[in-house]
Amino acid sequence: MKTTRKLRTLLAAAAVLSALPVTAALAQKNEQKKDMPKKDMSKMHMPKTPKQMEPYDLTGYWVSIVDENWRFRMVTPPKGDFEGIFITPKAKKIANEWDPEADKKNGLACKAYGGAAIMQVPTRIHISWMGEDKLKFEFDAGRQTRVAYFHDAPGKAPAPGWQGVTKAQWEMRGTSPSFGAAHPVPIALKTITTKMRPGYIRKNGVPYSANAKVTEYYDLLPGPDGIRYLVVKTIVNDPEYLTQPYVTSSNFKKIPAKSGWDPRPCTVK
């Protein structure tokens, strides 16, 4: 029995001695961890800004490709030509009374360059980021400017302008490892414009009201030889003057910086 007890004692002592180097190593490793710089977890989980999330680069200069509705876009159609637009009797009365010279005299020459119509006007567009959460759209036709806010516009609500107030968002779909398993992927730009001055959907006096809402979707398409195309789908809803949404598609081609850029004033015809 005594021999057995001595053996057990020796084995226990050997186990303690063998564990000492491991314990010492663990202690040393823990001390090293304390000395290592800590990762800033707040930055690791910081949400991306709208600019950082962009699925494609919209910035630069674009020119209209007028490949549809040529007779409504390149020339001013005659009074009473409402083809393709479903309007209320009230809107029809206003359009039949269209007086371009009166608009010019009253400082309303830009009524056909407002937020509900500008994409169909033959123009060049300059798109640029303003900080991390605003996109700026400059149109040389009519010298118009629109700012799309991914967050609420700061300060008091501005007085209604031709371009109104535009809120932007990235359309999201699916999932991606780069955004996390539970996070959808940004695929396209969507904007909603409201609070516009009343204007014309078509240059010959077909009206839209101050309560109109314009929803737009922006898609970027690759072309041959590295050419890029921008397609803007515009949906105008206006229960006061339209009996159904007015939907158009406007195509643009990417061009070198400021190529042909020619800011010009609004015209009534």
State the DSSP H helix or E strand holding residue 134, giving kind and residue range, or none if neither.
Answer: strand 134-139
Give the pLDDT score at 173.
79
CA angle 112, 233, 242 (to 5 degrees): 55
Query: Of 17-21, 49-53, 175-179, 222-226, which gets the smallest average pLDDT?
Result: 17-21
Task: Assess whether pLDDT exceeds 80 at residue 30.
Answer: no
Q: How confident is the model at residue 174 (pLDDT cuts 50, 70, 90)?
A: low
- Stretch (H or E) spanning 101: helix 100-105
Averaged pLDDT for residues 131-154: 94
Provide the whole-model pTM. Answer: 0.80
d(CA 262, CA 114): 18
The pLDDT assigned to 182 comes to: 57
State the pLDDT at residue 158.
Answer: 73
* Total length of the chain: 269
CA 261 – CA 255 distance, rounded (Å): 10
Instruction: Write down the pLDDT at residue 170.
Output: 96
